[in-house]
A = this chain, B = another copy of it.
């Protein structure tokens, strides 16, 4: 894999933005391997992602920032740049169910998802041996349902100790407290086992069964304080019928959950997502 810098930009739309930014890149010899633009006529904002070969530029991502800042200020850009050579540190949170966790660990160990996994945190011991086979530290942090605060304090410390960038709720089944959502705003990714906004909350497959829907789905979204209402990154569905009981939907749904979570996480890791209020822009 070629090492690249990923430059993400969002700003009020006007003429000349692409010209100015691409001129800056070209002047320094930057070779763009992938570019994606989006103009939103409703909000009047413009979004751009450029993926530039690292070796084609005469400076590091840090130095890029210094040189680019004056331009960014002139154009009123919200922007960030990331170096693909420094993979994000992603903590996985799980409960007892392993379908999403197993799938993500496979994608990590096979190099399919370019990330580091500094630790797995669970409120149960069930998955310890499997995780530890991978050489990844496993922290069991039980949650006392009458006093959840200590568990989330402990978890916050662990995330800090492990210098975690992104938290993935791989069917963690616990609601994170608001301060943790804020601390990792747009960096906590959840997989909800329904096609949101249908069937918010608990037991969505049972709700789907009761309503008699012909498709069930899963939704990968950023976690915010409001349950199951954060910006949606990815969704998919699978066909069901009258012969599927809730437990069949649970089984079929697992396949959708794991693939939707993996796709959503990939967009995040590859710096393709810009959060825009209650929605996401996926550039790529």
Instruction: Please list the residues of chain A having a beta carbon within 8 angstroms of any beta carbon in chain B.
Output: 15-16, 18-20, 22-23, 25-27, 29-42, 56, 98-99, 102-103, 106, 110, 112, 129-130, 133, 195-199, 210-215, 217, 231-237, 241-243, 245, 251, 254-255, 259, 262, 276, 278-282
Contact = CB atoms under 8 A, between A and B. Distances in A.
Given A19-B26, A102-B102, A245-B42, A212 B31 contact: no
Nearest to A207: B197
A200 B215 CA distance: 17
B215 A196 contact: no
Interface centre among A22, A259, A279 (most CB of B within 10 A): A22
B212 A242 contact: no
A129 to B, nearest CB: 8
A241 B282 contact: yes
A8 to B, nearest CB: 14
A243 B110 CA distance: 23
Contacts of A37: 32, 34-36
Query: Which 8 interchain pairs have the tightest Cβ spacing?
Result: A212-B279, A19-B26, A16-B26, A19-B22, A214-B235, A18-B22, A35-B37, A19-B23
A243 B47 CA distance: 11
B245 A232 contact: no
A259 B34 CA distance: 30
A184 B245 CA distance: 30
A19 B15 contact: no
A242 B38 contact: yes
A247 to B, nearest CB: 10
A157 to B, nearest CB: 30
A276 B242 CA distance: 10
B41 A29 contact: no
A242 B281 contact: yes
B112 A251 contact: yes
25 contacts: A15-B25, A15-B56, A18-B26, A18-B32, A18-B35, A19-B23, A19-B26, A22-B22, A34-B37, A38-B243, A40-B242, A42-B245, A98-B106, A99-B110, A102-B106, A112-B254, A133-B133, A195-B198, A196-B198, A197-B199, A211-B279, A212-B279, A213-B235, A242-B280, A242-B281
